[in-house]
Structure 1
Amino acid sequence: MRRIARTVRLTSSVAVAGVLLAGCGLLGSGKNGEVSDMDMQRAAERADQILYATVGEIKPEIEWVHRATTTGSCDVTRYWTVMTVISEQRRGNFLGVVERFWKANDYRIEMVNPSQDVPTIIATSPEGFGTRVKFGYKGQAFFEVTSPCVEKSKVAGPKRVANGRAYEGEIPTPNVRSAFWSAETPVPDPAPSP
């Protein structure tokens, strides 16, 4: 049983890495597959816009913080951590909101992992940005956006301040309670129409 679980985790990890790395060189008519007229800084800003639009659709609002920015040879990735406790009973609703928003905005859904432990959705935006939302340790939600291959440049931190409090050092596990997202009951069915 452990071997199967380990194989499933490894296969999922390889698939995730492949989807996120595949963005480099998929789009654009620039040299070496770069997206024309975009450098790493502009790509990071676009990644931020993708996050802000996505979390803006989540109601009631969740708290999140900036986690990191990394750069590769021709791509940039922004990471954010959700600080709102999303109960196991509400994770499906949370992921459903994100998936519906991405589909409504012409994102291509690459993978949905319905795992009870680490549910994940991976998608690609119309302009080739790899996007991911996943749950990890202690049910903490994470967002990640990776650009397609762009022109190399310096990358500044995000301009917008996160809506969660700032943490010194390691970001803790989720610690902000929400009457809706943290409730340990399923979302009630809407009242039937008379």
Structure 2
Amino acid sequence: MTPDQAVQKLKALLDDSMSDVKPPLKYWDAWPNSTEQDGGYATASQDRYIMTKVSKAKFGALLGLLERSWKAKGYHIARVNPNQPAMFADTPDGSSISLTVGAADNIAFEASVSPIPVIRGRDPFGTPTPQPTMSNGNPDMIPKYDDPFWSSDQPAPTPTSSR
């Protein structure tokens, strides 16, 4: 696939993963990048940083929601890390998507697709756009927006079955 097609597919994976998350989360997308592989091709990936504060009490609800959503889409849950919340899934077409929770309770999605051609000497995705940074110059990945549901320390309601 071309780099442009890869960007479209990355965005679709990220958007599709967040489509079932209600209420919606605020985020920003990092510039896509490519990593050369041994087989003479590259893998394209893109991060999406969640800027809505999600309380620890809601991590399980978010991961459970995504697990159900990803499985319903035919994704294979490849790995789950309950100690530092994270979940990794593969799509039927060989792409991948993950959600990880960082040490500062920051949440990031990452989508990966391949193969794309190896392009040297320039960014295969064009000229990077400026991204939010902190005062130290690092990417700003620390959530700062409150949400009545996601930021609350109240546990998410347990789903009940209807009879």
Task: Choose between structure 1 and 2: higher helix proportion.
Answer: 1
Unaligned stretches of 5+ in structure 1? 1-37, 159-165
Is 2:145 the counterpart of 1:181? no
Q: Structure 2 regions of 5+ residues with no counterpart?
A: 37-41
In the superposition, relative to structure 1, how do residues 193 and 43 fare at CA in structure 2: closer, same or farther (>3 Å)?
A: closer
Partner of 1:65: 28
The percent of aligned pairs where both chains have the same amino acid is: 25
Taking the TM superposition and a 5 Å limit, the aligned residue runs for 1:104-123 are 104-115=72-83, 118-123=84-89
Aligned equivalents of 1:124, 1:187: Cα separation in 2: 27
**TM-score normalised by length of structure 2:** 0.81
Pairing 1:45-194 to 2, within 5 Å after superposition: 45-73=8-36, 74-115=42-83, 118-152=84-118, 154-156=124-126, 167-168=132-133, 170-189=139-158
Q: 1:157 to 1:84 in 2, by over 3 A?
A: farther
For 2:2 and 2:12, the matched residues in 1 are separated by: 15
- Cα 1:45–1:152 change in 2 (3 A) is farther
More strand by share: 2
Count, aligned residues: 148
Q: Which residue of 1 aligns with 2:39?
A: none
Matched residues in 1 for 2:141 and 2:158: separation?
Answer: 33
Question: What is the alpha-carbon distance in structure 1 between the residues aligned to residue 160 and residue 77 of structure 2?
Answer: 31
Contact kept in structure 2, 1:135 and 1:141, CA below 8 Å: yes
